[in-house]
Amino acid sequence: MFKNYILNEITKEKNHITNQLDNNYCKANAIRKRRKKSLKIYHQTEEYQASLEEALAKSKRYQKLISEHATEDEDLKKEYDAFEQRQKEQKEREKKRQEEKRLQQLRVQEKLTEMEQCLKKLDFTPLFKKYTQKRIREIEQSYSLDVISIETYDDYFQSDYIYNKKYSELSAENFDDFINSLEYIEWSNIFIIYEDIFDDIFHAFTELQKFKEDDDLCDSLTDYLTDIISDYDYEIESELSSRFTKSYILELIRKNPHYCLMIKDMEDREQKLKQEKQELEERREFLRKTILQKIPDNYIDFFPEARKIKRNFILHIGPTNSGKTFHATQALKSAKNGIYLAPLRLLAIEQYVQLNKEGFPCSLITGEEEKHIENSFFQSSTIEMADLTRQYAVAVIDEAQMIKDSDRGGAWTAAILGICTKEIHICAALEAEEILIKLIQDCKDSYKVLHYERQCPLICEKQPFSFPSSVKKHDALIVFSKKSVHAIAGELQRTGTKCSMIYGSLPYEVRKNEADKFIAGETDVLVATDAIGMGLNLPIERIVFLETTKFDGKTKRRINPEEIRQIAGRAGRKGIYDVGYYNADTSIDFIQKSILVQTDPIKKAVLAFPTHLLYLNAPLSEIFERWNELHINDAFVKQNLERELHLCKFMENYSKDKQIIYKFSTIPFNENSEQLMELWTEMFFAEIQGNVYPFLLSDKHITSDIHSLEEIYRICDLFYCYYRRFNHTQFLEDTETVRKQITKRLIELLSHQKRQ
């Protein structure tokens, strides 16, 4: 019994100890876990401490950068304040000058009023004759003097040029100036005679001032004085010009032995001028013959590398909305590499985006921007940027009917004659087929013609259109100026119609955003210029012409049938609208007739200026002029170089570097814009002085005015083209950044307008 008791106690003690051991084990595990967690927290704390130290270091660097930028901003602010102060001072000076001019006019008017009051019944013909004859006798006598004094000269000829030269006598050096100043003789003498006569009249008839308050008398005196002056103007001018011919003046001077040497010197200089003129003519003729020698008999030989290749052309001929560009680009996608050449930056970007979206790496090169995609096998460019030295598997040349354009058509001619590609697809309207085939045959290349029809019919609506009551969803309203676009869009928004706006001066990204809203149905109507004529495939059911005239950069004219067909052809979309319609607010008969009329075939292709002529030993303007004078093959017409020649002549006053002059003369910008022209000029002066014109725009120039933003964007385009053309790559990134900010702001402003 006791034994069992002892065993039970031992068992209890054993269980108690076992339980304590288990508890201690659990506590030990818990302690180990907490220790492990503490170690982890400790390591995390060390990492956080290191991150904190790194963040503090970055903060110091950022603070330093902020301080530097603040200093730069302060400098820019000072420059801007100084500029504002100069502008203010200039305005004050102009205001003061205008006030002085106004006061001077008042003084003159008061003097005339005094004279008018003294002339009621005056006949001063005898007095006039006396003064005229006296002046003529004095002039004749002055030629017989051994020395013609500056006083005599100034009294009767009043030449500003001679007046500032204190000549003591007439000499060989000032003889030409003396002769040239005679063309001013009539008017200067008239003014002198008038002053003398008016003084006599004023003193002789002071009693007439009692009529000062009589308005009718003043009016009659004014008329009387005007008649007298007009009579005497003619009489004095006739008297002096008939008497003082150049031969008569030379005859008088030859009688004076003091000036025999001067006459001989004058004759020697005339002979020298004739000789220089003859040398100039000989030089021009030599340059003309040299240019002719540089031009081959057949213009296809301008491109010898292309002549080494047996090329095959596929011509895709048809109207808008016929799918010709689609089929051409399908061939491009099936090749290992290739190039797409567009008439507009808009179309080049559209193909660039589409090819990359479909998995065909494609780079973009236009006159305003370059985007190089890594490992790209394709390139989308504007036609002027075509590299005619590089070989491609396939090339697509779009909108080739522009080969007749006098300003840009030479780029299409050069691409067709010179692109080094075995397979070339050309998309064009029907009127270009004949000239394209001729060029291809001249190159002895093969070709195939594919004709296309519209994928959906284009119908003129019978019911009349009235703005804005007739506007309906999926319409595209066509006008031909930015001002009209905003006016029409504003009117539609007031009536509750949501609309997108597209016009040429909007950046591509903004136009694309506006188009995307129309495609997605966020807006009901599209208001656009002819910027939609090429590119931007949109779901438009009806095109409505609200205007039929446009300013083409030179004159305001009526739109031509080709433009009307190009725009109206955007109506209808296969799979969306099986029929396209067009209408007009006015002149619907003109629109319908233009669409139905048969366009004459293009007879001549425009030929661009051959750049290898730049290396001739002559000023660039002279080369341009001699090129313009040349007769060329009847199949071609020379490209219009009027703009380039004008810019070239300006630059040659300051530099003889033909490469710089040619690059600047071919930069694409609107030279009619005073702001852009001034900026272009400053860039040119910086470049010829060996400097780089800096990029001064920043985000603080981003305003809330749409028109200002569009102008700043065009300024950025000019900067980008200048930096790219002269390889000043250090400013390209800043330029592109500001362009993106402008684009973003424009999208915001247009969206805000629509909400309002």
What is the distance between the alpha carbons of residues 618 and 662, in angstroms, rounded to a whole number?
Answer: 13
What is the distance between the alpha carbons of residues 380 and 358, in angstroms, rounded to a whole number?
Answer: 14
Query: What pLDDT was estimated at residue 422?
Result: 93
Query: What pLDDT was estimated at residue 263?
Result: 62
* Tokens coding 530: 């002819």
Q: How confident is the model at residue 226 (pLDDT cuts 50, 70, 90)?
A: low
Query: What pLDDT was estimated at residue 620?
Result: 86
Query: What pLDDT was estimated at residue 381?
Result: 95
Tens-digit pLDDT profile for residues 58-99: 667 767 766 666 666 676 677 777 777 877 887 788 788 778
Tens-digit pLDDT profile for residues 108-117: 566 555 554 4
- The answer to which of 197-201, 395-399, 571-575 has the lowest mean pLDDT is 197-201
Residue with tokens 């050096």: 173
* Tokens coding 688: 């010829």
Query: What pLDDT was estimated at residue 441?
Result: 92
Amino acid occupying residue 753: Q
The average pLDDT across 393-397 equals: 96
Q: Which H helix or E strand runs over 395? A: strand 391-397
The average pLDDT across 161-171 equals: 38
Tens-digit pLDDT profile for residues 677-736: 999 999 999 999 999 999 888 777 788 888 888 888 899 999 999 998 899 988 888 888
Give strand pairing partners of 558: 549
| Whether pLDDT at 10 is above 80 | no
What is the distance between the alpha carbons of residues 259 and 251, in angstroms, rounded to a whole number?
Answer: 12
Q: How confident is the model at residue 416 (pLDDT cuts 50, 70, 90)?
A: very high
Give percent of the chain with pLDDT exceeding 70: 68
The segment with the largest mean pLDDT, out of 167-176, 264-273, 639-648, is 639-648
- The answer to which of 50-54, 246-250, 536-540, 628-632 has the lowest mean pLDDT is 246-250
For the chain, how long is the longest CA-to-CA vector? 178
What is the distance between the alpha carbons of residues 488 and 475, in angstroms, rounded to a whole number?
Answer: 13
Sheet holding 580-584: strands in order across?
A: 458-460, 580-584, 542-545, 475-478, 525-528, 499-502
The average pLDDT across 272-292 equals: 76
| Whether pLDDT at 536 is above 70 | no
| Whether pLDDT at 674 is above 50 | yes
Query: What pLDDT was estimated at residue 256?
Result: 56
Q: How confident is the model at residue 636 (pLDDT cuts 50, 70, 90)?
A: confident
Tens-digit pLDDT profile for residues 436-494: 999 999 999 999 999 999 888 899 998 889 888 899 999 999 999 888 998 898 889 88
| Whether pLDDT at 208 is above 80 | no
- The answer to which of 148-157, 292-301, 416-425 has the lowest mean pLDDT is 148-157
- The answer to which of 90-99, 130-139, 577-586 has the lowest mean pLDDT is 130-139
What is the distance between the alpha carbons of residues 329 and 754, in angstroms, rounded to a whole number?
Answer: 36
Query: What pLDDT was estimated at residue 281?
Result: 78
What is the distance between the alpha carbons of residues 455 and 321, in angstroms, rounded to a whole number?
Answer: 6
Q: How confident is the model at residue 532 (pLDDT cuts 50, 70, 90)?
A: confident
Q: How confident is the model at residue 530 (pLDDT cuts 50, 70, 90)?
A: confident
Query: What pLDDT was estimated at residue 334?
Result: 92
Query: What pLDDT was estimated at residue 227?
Result: 55
| Whether pLDDT at 526 is above 90 | yes
Q: How confident is the model at residue 330 (pLDDT cuts 50, 70, 90)?
A: very high
- Between residues 553 and 419, the one the model is more confident about: 419
| Whether pLDDT at 384 is above 70 | yes
CB-CB contact of 581 with 514 (8 Å): no
- The answer to which of 114-128, 305-319, 733-747 has the lowest mean pLDDT is 114-128
Query: What pLDDT was estimated at residue 111?
Result: 54
Query: What pLDDT was estimated at residue 177?
Result: 55
Q: How confident is the model at residue 290 (pLDDT cuts 50, 70, 90)?
A: confident
* Tokens coding 255: 């009688």
Tens-digit pLDDT profile for residues 567-579: 888 888 877 888 9
Query: What pLDDT was estimated at residue 26?
Result: 73
The average pLDDT across 417-445 equals: 93
| Whether pLDDT at 118 is above 70 | no
What is the distance between the alpha carbons of residues 631 and 239, in angstroms, rounded to a whole number?
Answer: 50
The average pLDDT across 238-242 equals: 58
- Between residues 166 and 218, the one the model is more confident about: 218
| Whether pLDDT at 270 is above 60 | yes
CA neighbor of 417 nearest in space, from 636, 623, 630, 631: 636
The average confidence (pLDDT) of the chain is: 77
The average pLDDT across 277-295 equals: 73
- Between residues 115 and 317, the one the model is more confident about: 317
| Whether pLDDT at 149 is above 50 | no
User: Which distant-in-sequence residues (6+ apart) come within 8 Å of 470 by Cβ?
Assistant: 463, 464, 544, 583
- Between residues 120 and 259, the one the model is more confident about: 259
User: Which distant-in-sequence residues (6+ apart) come within 8 Å of 332 by Cβ?
Assistant: 338, 340, 378, 394, 396, 425
